[in-house]
Structure 1
Amino acid sequence: MTTMAEVARLAGVSTTTVSHVLNKTRRVAPETEELVRQTVARTGYRHNLAARALATQSTDTIGVAMSVATNPYFAELFRCIDRLLRRAGYTIVLADTNDDPVVEVDVINHLLARRASGLIVNPLEGNAELVGCLRGLLDDGFPLLLLDRRSTLPGDQVYSECVDSTYQLTAHLATQGHRRIGFVQGNLTTMSAHDRLEGYRKAVAELGLDDDPRLVIAGESDERIAEQRVVAHLATADEPTTALVVSNNQMTLGTMRAIRHRQLKVPRDIALVCYDDFEWADLCDPQITAMAQDVDALAATAVDLLLARIEAPDRPPQAVTVPTEFHHRDSCGCGRRRRQGTAR
C-alpha cells in the first residue's frame, strides 16, 4: 500500500507538503498542488480520513457533496434530502462541488474531517483521483451513498432511469414524422450522460431515423456551451434538423436561446423535448415537453439506503433505479394534449 512518504518522494516534496495539500491546512503553490494530486492519482494513495472519521464518528451529521448553486434540480433534490434527514434527527452539512472532480475530492475530505457519519455524493466518473477517493471510502466501509448518476463503483446508489426515458423522448418525436432528430449531449464524465446517449442511439437504430454523427451535439452539460454549439449546428447543417432532444435542463435553456438566436420558432420550425423537467418549463411559450425525474422518490430512497448502511455496515450494496415521468406539453408540436407515463 502506498504511503504518504512515498507520495512525497515521488513528487519531490516533503511529507508535510503532501499533508497540507490533502488536508487543505495551508496554501501551497498551485503547480506543487497539481503535482501532488497527479502523484496521488498515479499511485492510488488513499488518504485515510475515512478511517479517522469512523474511529471518532459523530452520530448526527451527514455530509452532502453536490453541485447545487448552478443547477436548480440539485437544489430541489438537496432540499428534499435535508428535510428527510432532519426528520430522522441528523444535521446536514452541504458542500457545493460545482461539478468539478478536484473540488469534489476536496469537499469530501473536508466533510470527513468534520466527522460526518455518512456521505451523499453526486459522482463524476471521469477523474482518477475522485474515483480512487470514492473507492477508498467504500473499501474502508464508510457509509457512502452515490446519488443521481449511475456509477460503476460497487456501492449503494440511487439514480433515475435514463436509457428508456431518452428512447421514449426520441420515439415521441419520430411519431410526429421527424426523421432528422438532433441530440444535445451532456458531459460524458457521468454515466447518466452515456445512458441518455445510448437511449437516443437505440431509438435512431430501431426506428430508422437519420443516423448522422453530426446530429449529436456536445453540449457538455453547460448552458453556454450548449447555446454556442446548437447555434453553430443550426447555422451549418446542410440538411435541416427538424427536432431536438436535449439531455438535461441547463442545456435546454441554452438550446432555447440558440433557437431564438437563429430566429426559429418552437415547434413551428423545430420541435424540442428534454430530459429533466424544470420548475418553469410550463411557463415557457410554448410549454416544454419533458421527461421529469422524481425528486421526492430519489431523495427518500437515498436517505433510506444511507441510514440502512449506517445501521448495518456489512449488508450487500444496492442500486435502485427510479422511474421518470413524461410531461407532454407543446414544444413537441403535438398540440395541447396532456398525457403522462413512466419509464422504468
Structure 2
Amino acid sequence: MRHTTIADVARAAEVSTATVSHALNGTGRIAPATRVRVRSVASALGYGDRDGPPPVVSRTLALAVTTFGPDPWHFADVPFFAQAIAAATAAAHHRGYALTVLPSAPAENLWATLPVAGVLLMDSPADDPVARILRARGLPLAFDGRPAVLRPGEACVDNDHRAMTRQVLGHLAGQGATAIALMDGDGADHYTRTCRAAYLDWCAEHGVRPRPLPMPPPLVEDHGRTYDAVLSGPDRPDAVYGIYDPCGRRILASAARCSLSVPGDLLVVCASEDPAYARADPAVSTVSLDPSRTAEAAVAALVDLIERPGHRQRPVTVPARLHIRATSTRTAAASPYPPLTPTDTAGTSRPA
C-alpha cells in the first residue's frame, strides 16, 4: 500500500489540504477543535511516518446502524438487528475477517479514523453524515437497506418494501378491513419512506383516507398509550400494519385497554423477526425481511469490493415473507378488494 498523503488526511477530516497543513504545523487561524481533529485523523492514518513500513492492510470490517443519526439507541436489543449482526459476524469470519459492531452514535473522530477495510451500513438515512465521512476516506461500503444515493463501487442489499406493503394492505382488506392505519416513525431511511409512500399510494388508488399512527422515538416506551385515544374514538381504524418490531406489542396493549377484540374488532400485522409473536395468544401476523440472509449477502458483497478493487456490484434483492396468523384472520366481510389465501406468501425483493 502507498503511504498516506496530505490529501488523504484532508478527505478523511473533511477539510482542505491547507487546513491540514496549518493544523499540523501549528500555523494559521483555525478553530482549536479543528486542529485537534485533524491531528487525530493524521495520526490514525499514519501520515508523516514516511520512513516506516507501509500500513498493514486491515482484516476487520465494521457494522453500523445509522437510522436515527446522532441519537443513541440499543439496536442490538431488536431481534431484526440481533439476527443481522450474528449472521454478518459469521459471514465475515467465513471470509477471514473480523467484524466490529459500532454503537449507534460514536464520535465523529471515530468514523474518520476507524482502522477497517470496509463498512456495512444498515438503514442508512438520507444525507447520512457517517456515509459522507466514510466515502471521503475512500472506504468500500455495503448497504443493508437502500441508501438515498448508491455510488459506483458500493453495494446494496434489500427487500421490495413497496410490494410487501401493498401485499399486507391487500390481505387486510381481503379480511374485511376498510379503515387501515399504518404505524411508522419519522426515520429518513429508505425502508420507512418506501413503506409510507406505498401506503399512501394504495389509499389513493382505493379512495380511502390515510390513517397514520406515528410511533414514539425508539427510546420512548409508553406501552402503546399513545394510541388509546385513537382506538377508543368513534373513528378508530379496524386494522393496523406496524412496520417496526415493537408495533405489534404496543397496538395489542392499547387494544386490550380499549376493550377491543383482536381480530374481531381490530386486525393487526407487524414487521418483526421476534419468534414470540408466533407464540402469542392470539398469534400475531408478521412480515419477515430475512435479516440473516440480507446481512450475509451484504458482507459477501463488501468483501468482494475490498478484494476486487474496481469491481461493480449489482444490487442484491432478498424476498420478504408475510406470515399470516390469527391477528389478521377472520371471516371476511364484503370487501371491494380481492382476498389472499391465509398462508405464508413470499414477497418479491426490492428493485434496485
Deviation of 1:90 after TM superposition, in Å, equals 1.1
Q: What is the match of residue 190 of structure 1? A: 189
In the alignment, is the contact (CA less than 8 A) between 1:145 and 1:157 conserved in 2? yes
Q: What is the match of residue 207 of structure 1? A: 206
Match of 1:135 among 132, 136, 151: 132
In the alignment, is the contact (CA less than 8 A) between 1:4 and 1:15 conserved in 2? no
Q: What is the match of residue 78 of structure 1? A: 85
Query: Is 2:34 the partner of 1:18?
Result: yes
Query: Is 2:168 the partner of 1:169?
Result: yes
Q: What is the match of residue 44 of structure 1? A: none
Structure 1 stretch displaced more, 158-167 or 310-319: 310-319
Map Cα deviations across residues 94-142 of structure 1 (whole Å, 9 max, x no partner): 1121xxxxx15x37x526634111111124425x5xx244134335431
**CA distance in structure 1 between the partners assigned to 2:229 and 2:36 by the alignment:** 45
Go from structure 1 to structure 2 and tell me whether the alpha carbon gap of 1:293 and 1:268 turns closer, same or farther (over 3 Å shift).
Answer: same
Q: What is the match of residue 247 of structure 1? A: 243
**CA distance in structure 1 between the partners assigned to 2:138 and 2:287 by the alignment:** 35
Map Cα deviations across residues 153-187 of structure 1 (whole Å, 9 max, x no partner): 42312122211101111110101121111110222
In the alignment, is the contact (CA less than 8 A) between 1:61 and 1:116 conserved in 2? yes
Deviation of 1:283 after TM superposition, in Å, equals 1.0
CA RMSD of aligned residues (A): 3.2
Map Cα deviations across residues 168-223 of structure 1 (whole Å, 9 max, x no partner): 11110101121111110222321210111122223223334x214xx111115636
AA in 2 matched with 1:163: R
Deviation of 1:86 after TM superposition, in Å, equals 1.0
**CA distance in structure 2 between the partners assigned to 1:48 and 1:143 by the alignment:** 20
Instruction: Classify the secondary structure of the residue corresponding to 1:249.
Output: coil
Match of 1:144 among 134, 141, 145: 141
**CA distance in structure 1 between the partners assigned to 2:254 and 2:324 by the alignment:** 22
Figure out how many residues of one structure are paired with residues of the other and give that number. 303
In the alignment, is the contact (CA less than 8 A) between 1:325 and 1:341 conserved in 2? yes
Q: What is the match of residue 40 of structure 1? A: none
Q: What is the match of residue 335 of structure 2? A: none
Q: Which runs of 5+ in 1 are unaligned?
A: 26-46, 98-102
Query: Is 2:238 the partner of 1:231?
Result: no
In the alignment, is the contact (CA less than 8 A) between 1:183 and 1:246 conserved in 2? yes
TM-score (normalised: structure 1) = 0.77
Q: What is the match of residue 341 of structure 1? A: 345
Q: What is the match of residue 181 of structure 1? A: 180
Q: What is the match of residue 289 of structure 1? A: 285
Go from structure 1 to structure 2 and tell me whether the alpha carbon gap of 1:57 and 1:132 turns closer, same or farther (over 3 Å shift).
Answer: farther
AA in 2 matched with 1:138: R
Query: Is 2:65 the partner of 1:58?
Result: no
Instruction: Classify the secondary structure of the residue corresponding to 1:211.
Output: coil
**CA distance in structure 1 between the partners assigned to 2:226 and 2:195 by the alignment:** 19
Instruction: Classify the secondary structure of the residue corresponding to 2:268.
Output: strand
In the alignment, is the contact (CA less than 8 A) between 2:239 and 2:267 conserved in 1? yes
In the alignment, is the contact (CA less than 8 A) between 1:186 and 1:219 conserved in 2? yes
Go from structure 1 to structure 2 and tell me whether the alpha carbon gap of 1:21 and 1:112 turns closer, same or farther (over 3 Å shift).
Answer: closer
Deviation of 1:51 after TM superposition, in Å, equals 6.7
Go from structure 1 to structure 2 and tell me whether the alpha carbon gap of 1:259 and 1:149 turns closer, same or farther (over 3 Å shift).
Answer: farther
Match of 2:262 among 262, 266, 281: 266
Instruction: Classify the secondary structure of the residue corresponding to 1:177.
Output: coil
**CA distance in structure 2 between the partners assigned to 1:184 and 1:226 by the alignment:** 14
Deviation of 1:295 after TM superposition, in Å, equals 2.1
Q: What is the match of residue 97 of structure 2? A: 90
Go from structure 1 to structure 2 and tell me whether the alpha carbon gap of 1:50 and 1:152 turns closer, same or farther (over 3 Å shift).
Answer: farther
Larger helix proportion of the pair: 1
TM-score (normalised: structure 2) = 0.75
